[in-house]
A and B are shown apart, each in its own frame.
Chain A
Amino acid sequence: MHHFFPSFLTQIILHLLTQIMTLKGGTSQACAACKYQRKRCTPECALAPHFRPEQTEIFKNAHKLFGVRNILRILEQVDPAMKNEAMRSIIYQANMRDRSPVHGCLGVIYQLQYQIRQAEKELYTVFSQLELYKQNQRRQQEITLSPMDSPESQQLQLGMGVEQSGNPGLTLFQNEVNDHTPQQPFVPVAAFQISYSGNENGSDVINVDSKDSMNMNNVMWGQQICYNENNDKSQMVNTQPLTIQDEVTHDYDEIYPFFDTIDDTQSYIDSKEANESSSDSSQLKEATQSIQHVAGNTLKNAQLQVNKCLEIYGLVGGLGFGYVILGVLMEDIAQITVACTGSELMQALTFF
């Protein structure tokens, strides 16, 4: 049979079939780079492995940004094993430049940095809230375990929540707990509310600050919370500067180190000259009445006032006043409220 089909015809047919297969997208079709450049794509074409024939747009972007010569130069510089990775990054860079002709990859970097900042901001806020919840949980567990100690520790915790900002005159902890209802002993709910509202205030402070200072505040906030965790009679959450809070004593009887940090001597010196002519008894009486309404830093205020009395009236006046203060405090310690503003205290202080 094959005698009627000469071999030369077979070869011609085979050659034609090969040509047809090549034209219809066979393995030797020109790569996108050679197609773009309208040149013959040889087997040695360096770009053929990276630009399939259908990837004309991708090559167009790469060519627009880098140019063929520069792409080949980059490929020559890298290890053969890393050529694919290098080509991927070149293609990515070119595509980003096509998407954003002004910023290119730098725009992507800016966006990612912004996302990171936002995520970090959110993470700090959530962490601080979580720490507060944990702190409250621990405190509630302590209260349920040791109920006998809770009234004094509760009151002292409320009383110790003072913001020591170093300004002349004390400003008390006057956050959202401004309900003037007397604090009941054994009230974990009240304690929780105070700390929770303090937390809200703190988180508001964090949110309104600028980005950089917010980060600093968040760091300080976190440090304050850690400090509070370690302190059994720790203060409620507040916005005190960290340095002042470090000096807060653990035992309310040891008040001298804390008083050393209070810088309100000027207010006392100023008011001293104005009130030197007043009688002792009326001042003591007024001071007593005002102190009954002082929340927060009652004991520290008392110490301050005793010290100032010692300066102004001498030893006898100071000791007498100190005795009065002690008596007042011992009677009224269970009824001292948190809600005393700084202005009220200043009023009380100016009596001296």
Chain B
Amino acid sequence: MASSTHPNAPCAACKFLRRKCIQGCVFSPYFPPEDPTKFANVHKIFGASNVSKLLNEIAPHQREDAVNSLAYEAEARLKDPVYGCVGAISVLQRQVLRLQKELDATNADLIRFSSDQNTLMMPQSSGNSLQNPHMLPPNYGAYSWNYNP
């Protein structure tokens, strides 16, 4: 996460902001100097101070995820100033609805087919009536070990 080339090399944030990158810089673990675009995007959309406040409110082990999500949202907003990442969400939500409808329709078909199959099987299983005691008339119950009167 930290810069691997030089221990005192400023992080991308401090480089961008043209300030000294101190030892406990909140940005340095997540904005390596090798990727200046990441911080540039985040700063352009959200602002460095907002990001810094956000990161300070989050536990250290979750900060990397938070930075990555902010970087994604910033990039999405730059590509689409109107909708940003919300455009992707709306596409996915429509897809979920479509799949759900398709699933409901297919499940209905399956139920219909399985009930048709059961209907077809019922007259053919009369030859094996011992296996289905409910098909037997009561006076033959004694001859079926499955039948419990």
Which residue on chain B has the smallest CB distance to residue A66? B46
Q: Are B47 and A123 in contact (CB under 8 A)?
A: no
Q: Are B120 and A102 in contact (CB under 8 A)?
A: no
Q: Are A130 and B113 in contact (CB under 8 A)?
A: yes
Chain B residues, Cβ within 8 Å of A258:
none
Q: Are B121 and A192 in contact (CB under 8 A)?
A: yes
CA distance A119 to B86 in the complex (A): 22
Contact (A102, B58) CB under 8 Å given A112-B92, A116-B92, A188-B124: yes
Q: Are A140 and B93 in contact (CB under 8 A)?
A: no
Confirm or deny: A166 has a beta carbon within 8 angstroms of a beta carbon on chain B.
Answer: no
Q: Are B106 and A126 in contact (CB under 8 A)?
A: yes
Q: Are B103 and A123 in contact (CB under 8 A)?
A: yes
Confirm or deny: B147 has a beta carbon within 8 angstroms of a beta carbon on chain A.
Answer: no
Which residue on chain A has the smallest CB distance to residue B109? A130
Q: Are B116 and A89 in contact (CB under 8 A)?
A: no
Chain B residues, Cβ within 8 Å of A113:
92
Contact of B45 among A66, A105, A109, A129 (CB under 8 A): A66
Confirm or deny: B95 has a beta carbon within 8 angstroms of a beta carbon on chain A.
Answer: yes
Encode contact with B along A125-145: 1 for CB under 8 Å, 0 otherwise.
011011001101100100000
Contact of A93 among B49, B85, B102, B125 (CB under 8 A): B85
Contact of A109 among B50, B77, B88, B100 (CB under 8 A): B88
Nearest CB on A from B19, distance (A) = 19
Among B5-13, B20-28, B32-40, B67-75, the stretch that binds chain A is B67-75
Nearest CB on A from B41, distance (A) = 12
Chain A residues, Cβ within 8 Å of B106:
123, 126-127, 130
Q: Are B120 and A93 in contact (CB under 8 A)?
A: no
Q: Are B46 and A109 in contact (CB under 8 A)?
A: no
Which residue on chain A has the smallest CB distance to residue B92? A112
Q: Are A89 and B103 in contact (CB under 8 A)?
A: no
CA distance A240 to B27 in the complex (A): 55
Chain A residues, Cβ within 8 Å of B85:
93, 105-106, 109
Place the interface of chain B in its size category.
35 or more
At the interface, is chain B mostly helix, strand, loop or mixed? helix
What's the count of A-B pairs with C-beta under 8 Å?
Answer: 123
Among A48-56, A77-85, A295-303, A331-339, the stretch that binds chain B is A77-85
CA distance A129 to B68 in the complex (A): 41
Nearest CB on A from B40, distance (A) = 14
Chain B residues, Cβ within 8 Å of A104:
66, 69-70, 73
Q: Are B69 and A78 in contact (CB under 8 A)?
A: no
Q: Are B84 and A67 in contact (CB under 8 A)?
A: no
Q: Are A82 and B89 in contact (CB under 8 A)?
A: no
Nearest CB on A from B39, distance (A) = 15
Contact (A77, B73) CB under 8 Å given A123-B99, A130-B113: no
Chain A residues, Cβ within 8 Å of B128:
189
Q: Are A108 and B89 in contact (CB under 8 A)?
A: yes
Confirm or deny: A178 has a beta carbon within 8 angstroms of a beta carbon on chain B.
Answer: no
Which residue on chain A has the smallest CB distance to residue B102? A123
Confirm or deny: A65 has a beta carbon within 8 angstroms of a beta carbon on chain B.
Answer: yes
Nearest CB on A from B113, distance (A) = 4
Chain A residues, Cβ within 8 Å of B129:
none
Nearest CB on A from B55, distance (A) = 10
CA distance A89 to B84 in the complex (A): 7
Confirm or deny: A15 has a beta carbon within 8 angstroms of a beta carbon on chain B.
Answer: no
Which residue on chain B has the smallest CB distance to residue A89? B86
Confirm or deny: B114 has a beta carbon within 8 angstroms of a beta carbon on chain A.
Answer: yes
Q: Are B99 and A134 in contact (CB under 8 A)?
A: no
Contact (A92, B107) CB under 8 Å given A66-B45, A70-B45: no
Confirm or deny: A86 has a beta carbon within 8 angstroms of a beta carbon on chain B.
Answer: yes
Q: Are B82 and A89 in contact (CB under 8 A)?
A: yes
Confirm or deny: A314 has a beta carbon within 8 angstroms of a beta carbon on chain B.
Answer: no
Residues of B participating in the A interface, judged by any CB pair closer than 8 Å: 45-47, 49-50, 53-54, 57-58, 62, 65-66, 68-70, 72-73, 77, 81-89, 92-93, 95-96, 99-100, 102-103, 106-107, 109-110, 113-114, 116-117, 120-121, 124-125, 128
Residues of A participating in the B interface, judged by any CB pair closer than 8 Å: 64-67, 69-70, 74, 77-78, 82, 85-86, 89-90, 92-93, 101-109, 112-113, 115-116, 119-120, 122-123, 126-127, 129-130, 133-134, 136-137, 140, 188-189, 192
7 contacts between A and B (CB under 8 A): A64-B54, A65-B46, A66-B46, A89-B83, A104-B66, A123-B102, A126-B110
- If A69-B47, A105-B85 are given as contacts, then 20 extra A-B residue pairs at C-beta distance below 8 Å, sorted by A number, are A66-B47, A67-B46, A70-B46, A78-B82, A93-B84, A102-B62, A103-B69, A105-B86, A109-B92, A112-B89, A112-B93, A116-B99, A126-B107, A129-B110, A130-B106, A130-B113, A133-B116, A134-B113, A137-B120, A189-B125
